[in-house]
Amino acid sequence: MTEVAVVAFAQAPNVRRTHGTTNGVEMLVPIFDEVYTRTGLSKTDIGFWCSGSSDYLAGRAFSFISAVDAIGAFPPIHESHVEMDAAWALYEAWLKIRMGEVDTALVYGFGKSSAGELRRVLSLQLDPYTVAPLWPDSVSIAAMQARLGLESGRWTETDLAEIAARSRRDAAGNPRAQFGGETDVAALLDTDPVADPLRRHDIAPVTDGAAVIVLASAERARDLADRPAVIGGIEHRIDTPSLGARDLTTSPSTRLAGEAVGTDGVEIAELHAPFTHQELIVRDELGLADAVRINPSGGTLTGNPMFSAGLARIGEAAQRILDGEATRTLGHATSGPALQQNLVTVLERG
């Protein structure tokens, strides 16, 4: 079957609030231009389009249809959408190319998290009979997960603060990150919890943003990028939605997806962990060695654009290969509460 490669990646600035609409057009048009310029492709060259976004974030039905305006969808295009992080849209586009239906695909995700009250909106992804009617917010659920690890000795508050400090330090080198810079671990630990046991630095910010990736068949990719990032494997798995039936300090779905793609030899990993302790869970389940560089972009803790943060992890991992800095990298995306669903992809120099 056809190999598939990432040939370009771009993301909108991660910001706390945009004045743009919830259909994402203002964030998408400039980054589409970026990937067109980089690849020399124009919209009529794209064989398949796939996006990830959510009407719950926008507060209106079929909001993703308006985003299609950003494409210029005439004559009619071959298009699909997932109500999930666009990492799963990338999976669908990967399949289309694997099957030989098309040889190029453009994948994008967008979300204006600031339009509503994000952690409350995210309650609605929970079981609609016995959980969502209580409105447990996403931060509180992650906080219960963090406590399980703290009280069992899996991690300490210092471990978590060190992850936050490293992320912010790395984000200083990422012009699209929401914030970054040097922070003192002791100073972070000196702050009060905002959702006991989580402190502000343990929680990814609320972010408006968007990201785009262009995929091509390996054959086509050679014309579009100097060093295409070939997808060596991509898998996703899911755990039960029953939160109280899971051991929340583990993520079997991450482990299974990682085992299916094979994580040996990875030099850099971009992990989609919106809470500090979740990075430790994912890292463990993927069996990443200490030498593996985690989230050189600053990661989700310094910019968490809903429905594109997972795609951006794959994009950041691919960019290291496109730039010639690495030969084997890993991108991870998560969806649902407390790391319920996970996608893992390994990228390689072609």
Residue 144 C-beta: closest distance to other proteins, Å: 4
- 58 vs 164, beta carbon nearer other proteins: 58
Residue 233: CA count within 13 A, CB half-sphere: 17
Residue 243 C-beta: closest distance to other proteins, Å: 6
Q: Which residues pair with 6 in a beta bridge?
A: 215, 229
- 112 vs 272, beta carbon nearer other proteins: 112
Residue keyed to tokens 């990492």: 87
Residue 113 C-beta: closest distance to other proteins, Å: 11
Residue 79 C-beta: closest distance to other proteins, Å: 12
- 255 vs 313, beta carbon nearer other proteins: 255
* Rounded Cα distance, 34 and 12, in Å: 10
- 142 vs 282, beta carbon nearer other proteins: 142
* Rounded Cα distance, 156 and 188, in Å: 13
Is residue 71 helix, strand or coil?
A: coil
Contacts of 19 (CB under 8 A, 6+ apart): none
- 62 vs 99, beta carbon nearer other proteins: 62
DSSP 182-209: ---HHHHHTSPPSBTTB-GGGBPPPBEE
- 175 vs 244, beta carbon nearer other proteins: 244
Helices within the chain (DSSP H only): 25-39, 55-58, 63-67, 86-98, 118-121, 138-151, 157-171, 185-189, 218-224, 252-261, 276-285, 309-322
Q: Which residues pair with 333 in a beta bridge?
A: 343
- 233 vs 241, beta carbon nearer other proteins: 241
Contacts of 37 (CB under 8 A, 6+ apart): none
| Contacting residues toward other proteins, per CB under 8 A | 19-22, 25-26, 29, 32, 43, 56, 58-60, 68-74, 112, 114-117, 119-121, 124, 127-137, 140-141, 143-148, 151, 193-198, 240, 242-245, 248
Residue 306 C-beta: closest distance to other proteins, Å: 14
Residue 48 C-beta: closest distance to other proteins, Å: 16
* Rounded Cα distance, 30 and 211, in Å: 10
Residue 35 C-beta: closest distance to other proteins, Å: 13
* Rounded Cα distance, 294 and 166, in Å: 9
